Each structure stands twice: as C-alpha cells, then as structure tokens.
Structure 1
Amino acid sequence: MAIWRPAPVNDEPEVTLASWRVLQTEVGDCHLVGIRPDNLTGRVSSPILKLDMTSLVGVTSTGRVYRLLGPAQWTSDTRYVWEQWCEMYQVCEWRDVTDELLATPMCRHHCADADGSKG
C-alpha cells in the first residue's frame, strides 16, 4: 500500500474520517488518523489547531476541516497508515489521546490551541 501527500486544501477543503483516532506526537502536535469512507483510503491530518469533540469537527494547520464519522476505533488499516506516516516523518514516540479528549470534550489541554501555544 502506497503513502502519498493529500491534495491541496483548496482542492479538498473538507474530509470525512471513519475509524478515527487522535494521536499526539512527542513534540505535542495532535493529528487525526482514520479512513475516508468515500474512497476507503487512510489519512493522517496535519497538526490540529481546533478540535470540537462534541460536534466531532476539527480544523488543522492547513485550514482543512475534518468531520469525524462514527465511533473512535482502531482498525488494521488505520494503524498501518499511522505507522507508515510515523516512519515517513520520523516520529518515534506518540500516544493516543482520543479517550481523554472524548471524556472532557471542552478541554483542549492535550493539543495546541489556535495560537500555537499549549493549553
């Protein structure tokens, strides 16, 4: 399975992800990872700037909007895409913060806020 860069945000301003998780790298950036239900390809987002766990909508550093569909879950495809992305970007350590964010949907202490600071 090949890994490639996504289309420019102007060409694809919004993406829906199923079988999704929120993962935080060792530098503190959080990314969405999941499977696009429209074409069944995997996707890892750029760093998340805003994430509303109540409405399941996130906005990344590129301005792309991600809509999260269904329950948060790992699949073998989701894990594969994340592991390949980590290898490509030399991410050695990461943690899954999905359950923490779902438990406190109004709290943004795990990911960078829109101004780039850690909240």
Structure 2
Amino acid sequence: MIYGVAEPTNNFPVAIMAWSIKEVVWGESEQPTRHLIGHIPQISSGRTTSAIQSFDREKMQITTRSGRVYALLGHPGENDDADYVWERWKAFNHVRNEKDVTNEYDERANT
C-alpha cells in the first residue's frame, strides 16, 4: 500500500535500513534530485523520501526537503517493500533517468 507520510513533528532521526540512494530526473524538471530508499523498521514499511538536502557523513544522517532526518543504519542493501514503494514513486512521478549513487554515501566505499 502506498501512502503519504505525515510532516515531521520533531527533530528525532527516523532509523532506516537496507537503504540506497538514487539520482533521478523526473516530472518536468531537468535538474536531477537524489532520494533515499529503504526500510523503516519501527513501522515495518518501505520508504522513498523527498529530495535529499544534506548529508552528515560523521553521523550518517540525511535531511530531506520535507525536513525529516534519517539515520542510516548498517550498510546499504535492498528490501522488497522499499523496492515496491520506489517503483510506484518512479511511475507516479514520471522518472526519465535513474542512477544509483549509493556508493557516494556508503562509509565503506569512502574510507
């Protein structure tokens, strides 16, 4: 089931695991945006975020356009629920190009 996510009500990071980062060009925009895809264990649900605004490598936290903060748990990976949400998001938003940029955010790839 696909549903919207409520606006953030606090500054506590949302834990996300089995995560990846995709760069896409979508809709009528020509500018690429990057999105975090992963599994939220607290609610046992896949998630695709709004565009990434900042990344704190030391804390392994991402802040998105919505203002929500995500704490990247563990290493990148895949999750069926997250993949399902991502595929629906791409179709709904008319994604024209997709590039996996996860390695730029993976602490193992940058050490």
TM over 0.5: yes
Contact 2:16/2:39, CA 8 A, preserved across alignment: yes
1:49 equivalenced with 2:48 (yes/no): no
Question: TM-score normalised to the size of structure 2?
Answer: 0.81
1:91 equivalenced with 2:95 (yes/no): yes
CA distance in structure 2 between the partners assigned to 1:67 and 1:87 by the alignment: 27
Change (3 A) 1:22 1:37: same
Higher strand content, 1 or 2: 2
User: How many aligned positions are there?
Assistant: 104
Aligned structure 1 segments of 4 or more residues deviating by more than 6 angstroms: none
Task: Give % identity.
Answer: 32
Change (3 A) 1:92 1:51: same
Question: TM-score normalised to the size of structure 1?
Answer: 0.76
* Aligned counterpart, 1:6: 5
Give structure 1 stretches of 5+ with no counterpart: 106-119
Give structure 2 stretches of 5+ with no counterpart: 26-30
For 1:78, give the aligned amino acid: A
Listed one character per residue, the Cα deviations across residues 43-78 of structure 1 (whole Å, up to 9, x for unaligned) are 111111101234210111121111111110122222
Match of 2:79 among 75, 81, 84: 75
Deviation of 1:12 after TM superposition, in Å, equals: 7.9
Contact 2:15/2:40, CA 8 A, preserved across alignment: yes
Superposition map of 1:18-29 within 5 A: 18-26=17-25, 27-29=31-33
For 2:87, give the aligned amino acid: E
Root mean square deviation of aligned Cα: 2.0
CA distance in structure 2 between the partners assigned to 1:12 and 1:94 by the alignment: 30
* Aligned counterpart, 1:61: 65
